[in-house]
Amino acid sequence: MNDAFLIQAVKDRFTDGVKTSHSYRGDATVLLGREFLLEVARTLKEDPIFQMNFLMDLTAVDFSTFGTKRSPAFFVNSGVAVSPSPEIPDQDPWPGPPGPARFVVVYHFFSLPLKHRLRLEVPVEEADAEVDSLSSLWAGADWLEREVWDMFGIRFRGHQNLKRILMYEGFVGHPLRKDYPVNKRQPLIGPVN
Amino acid sequence: MPGTMAPWSGIEMSGEAGFLTSRLDEAIGWARKFSIFQYPFVTACCGMEYMATACSHYDVDRFGAGLPRFSPRQADVLFVVGTISHKIAPVLKRIYEQMAEPKWVVSFGVCTCTGGFYDNYATVMGIDTIIPVDIYIPGCPPRPEYVLDGLLKLQAKIQTQAASGERPAPESRPEFER
C-alpha cells in the first residue's frame, strides 16, 4: 500500500482519532489523539490490510524551543538544500509542529509481510505527559518506552517496569528536554566538570 | 654468552662462568617494561583500533605487551579504551583500585583523554578526573603507530621509575577556567 492509501485506511477506521496527516517526502504520518493510541496500534498490528508486526522505533520530540533559534551558520552556508528538491515528492508537506502541545511521541511501524511503513505521532501536553504503553502489543516497546521516560520524562500508562534505562539511579531530570541545561553535570564520582 | 653486554649493565660478561653486576632497580625496570600485562577496559569504537594494534599486523607482542589479562588482579597496565560515561565511571575506578602495585594507566583515544567531542550530560571529561593517568594517546582513534609510540613512552617511564615501589606523582591535567 502506498502512503496515501495507508493514511486513508487509517482515517476511514478512526474518523475521530486522526487529527491531521501528512506524507512529507513520501513518509506517511498520522497525528492521533492520545486516547486513541492503543486502539489504533492494535488495529495496525492485527488488521489484515495493515499487518504492522514490527515496531521499528519509538521516540519523542520536544518542540518547546522549535523555531526560536536561527540555524547555525554552518547549515546556511553548507550548500545543503533547505527547500525541497523537485526530484523528491513533496505534494503533502510537513505542516509544522502540532499546536500548543510541547511533546510529540513518535511511533514508526513496519509491516514485514506487506513492506509498508507508517509513522504515528501523538501530541502530549507537558502538564499531563502520559500516554498508553504499547508493551502489551510489541515486547520491544518495553525498553524504548523506558528510554523515552528517561530522556523526556513522558510516562507510559500500563508499563510494567517504567524506570531509567540509560541514566543511573539518582540522576535528576530528563536530559533531552530542551530546558535541561546543556552544561549541567551530575557525576557519580569525580568533580562536576 | 661471552662477549655480549647485558643491556642494563656496563659490564661485559666474559669468562666461562660469566657474571654481571647491575643496579637492582634498573634490572627490575628492564624486566617490568618488557612484560607488560595489560587490562583492556574497552568501551567504544577505539576498541577496533586497539585490536588492530594488538594483532599480528602491528603486534604489541614485539614489545612484551602481548598478553592481555582479563582480571585486574593479574594486570600491570590499565588500557582505558573508549568513551567513559558517568554511569560506568565507578566501575573504572573499582577496576583501577583492584590492580596490584606497581600499576600504570594508559588513556587511549581522545575521549578518555579529555572527553573528546562529547561535552554533555553523559560523558566524563577525561579519565584523569577519576584516576591517575601515565600516558595519554589522543586521536579519534589513534593510529596503531601512535599507540606503539605511546607504549614505548610508557616503557621509558617504567624504566626510569625507582624499583622501590615509589612512583612519580601522577600526571594530572592542570585546572583551567571554563
**Residue B88 above 70 pLDDT?**
yes
Is residue A163 within 8 angstroms of chain B, CB to CB?
Answer: no
Task: Report the side by side order of strands in the sheet with B104-108.
Answer: B38-42, B77-81, B104-108, B135-137
Can you give the pLDDT at residue B152?
A: 93
Q: What is the pLDDT of residues A13-64, one digit of tens each?
A: 998 889 899 888 778 999 999 999 999 999 999 999 999 999 999 999 999 9
The mean per-residue pLDDT over the stretch B128-148 comes to 92
Residue at B98: amino acid letter: Q
The mean per-residue pLDDT over the stretch B60-81 comes to 91
**Residue B138 above 80 pLDDT?**
yes
Show pLDDT as tens, one digit a residue, over chain A (193 residues).
Answer: 788 889 999 999 998 889 899 888 778 999 999 999 999 999 999 999 999 999 999 999 999 988 887 766 666 666 665 666 677 767 787 888 887 899 999 999 999 999 999 999 999 999 999 999 999 999 999 999 999 999 999 999 999 999 999 999 889 999 999 999 988 889 888 777 6
Can you give the pLDDT at residue B4?
A: 55
Percent of chain B with pLDDT over 90: 49
Can you give the pLDDT at residue A43?
A: 93
Can you give the pLDDT at residue A192?
A: 78
Contact criterion met (CB < 8 Å) for A187 and B86: yes
Is residue A190 within 8 angstroms of chain B, CB to CB?
Answer: yes
Can you give the pLDDT at residue A81?
A: 59
**Residue B48 above 60 pLDDT?**
yes
Contact criterion met (CB < 8 Å) for A185 and B121: yes
Cβ(A105)–Cβ(A22) below 8 Å: no
Cα–Cα dist B46/B61, whole Å: 19
In order of their start, the domains of chain A are 3-68+86-157 (3.30.460.80)
Is residue A106 within 8 angstroms of chain B, CB to CB?
Answer: no
- Quote the minimal CA–CA distance from A180 to chain B in Å: 9
The mean per-residue pLDDT over the stretch B34-46 comes to 93
**0.90 surpassed by complex ipTM:** no
Cα–Cα dist B164/B86, whole Å: 35
Task: Name the band, by pLDDT with cuts 50, 70 and 90, for residue B1.
Answer: very low
Chain B contacts of A186, Cβ < 8 Å? 86, 121
Q: Does domain B44-156 have CATH number 3.40.50.12280?
A: yes
Q: How far apart are the first and last CA of chain B?
A: 60
Cβ(B87)–Cβ(B66) below 8 Å: no
Can you give the pLDDT at residue A29?
A: 92
Can you give the pLDDT at residue B175?
A: 43
Can you give the pLDDT at residue A97?
A: 85
Contact criterion met (CB < 8 Å) for A189 and B119: no
The mean per-residue pLDDT over the stretch B96-121 comes to 90
CA distances, B5 to each of B14, B27, B29 (Å): 9, 13, 17
Chain A contacts of B86, Cβ < 8 Å? 168, 185-188
Global confidence as pTM: 0.80
Chain B contacts of A183, Cβ < 8 Å? 119
**Overall size of chain A counted in residues:** 193
The mean per-residue pLDDT over the stretch B127-152 comes to 92
Q: What is the pLDDT of residues B144-155, one digit of tens each?
A: 999 999 999 999
Cα–Cα dist A10/A107, whole Å: 15
Best probe of the A interface among B87, B113, B121, B129, by most A CBs < 10 A, is B121
Contact criterion met (CB < 8 Å) for B87 and A182: no
Instruction: Using alpha carbons only, give the angle B171, B175, B178 rounded to the nearest 5 degrees.
Output: 140
Q: Which residue of B has its CA nearest to A185?
A: B121
Cα–Cα dist A101/A62, whole Å: 9
Phi–psi pair at A62, nearest 5 degrees: -105, 110
CA distances, A166 to each of A143, A144, A147, B111 (Å): 10, 11, 7, 19
DSSP B5: B
Q: Which residue of A has its CA nearest to B131?
A: A190
